[in-house]
Amino acid sequence: MRWFRFAIFVAFVAVLQASLLLDIIALPPLGSKPNLLLIMLVFFAINSNTTNAIITSFTIGFAADISIGSTMGSQTISFGLFGTALAYLHRVIAIRKVHYQAFSIFITAFTTGTLAHFLALLRGRPNVSNVYYAILGTAIYSAVVGPIFFLLASWLMRIKTHRFGRR
């Protein structure tokens, strides 16, 4: 793993996630926008070894806590927990096809969003109306944008995602 390149990439995506640039492509009913840090989480959980995937999961979760401005620690715990689970799941089930990747982004986005919401409720953060619709909208939008973002991330990180050859 190229850690310096990873740190620069996470910092850039965290600033992009926190900026108003993603509001341009937000969907109108609830203002759903893709969670690029979550897409990065799934990308590194799929394309790294287990140890690196666990480290990147917690690091990306910490960046999500800082950039989204949520209750400190809720995103770190949920990203770390489900990123680790996805890394261990990838050791058993190969998640190489695009529709499998989109489905894993959807499931990971929904579960991390739900867990982060419950952890924020435990800290006493006020309840927001339509929170599950917002989580569902973000999960669907991230699943659609995710495979396109995977191409950019694999090019920037110099990770070969397609291995051609005989089976």
Domain assignment of residue 106, yes or no: yes
Confidence category of residue 37, pLDDT binned at 50, 70, 90: very high
What's the average model confidence in pLDDT over 52-63?
Answer: 94
Domain assignment of residue 65, yes or no: yes
Distances (CA, A) of 145 to 9, 24, 25, 120, 140: 17, 15, 11, 27, 9
Judge whether residue 56 has pLDDT over 90: yes
Domain assignment of residue 108, yes or no: yes
Q: Look at 24 and 104; give whichever has higher pLDDT.
A: 104
Query: Domain tally for the chain?
Result: 1
Confidence category of residue 166, pLDDT binned at 50, 70, 90: very low
Domain assignment of residue 167, yes or no: no
Domain assignment of residue 142, given as a range: 3-20+29-156
Confidence category of residue 129, pLDDT binned at 50, 70, 90: confident
Domain assignment of residue 164, yes or no: no
Domain assignment of residue 165, yes or no: no
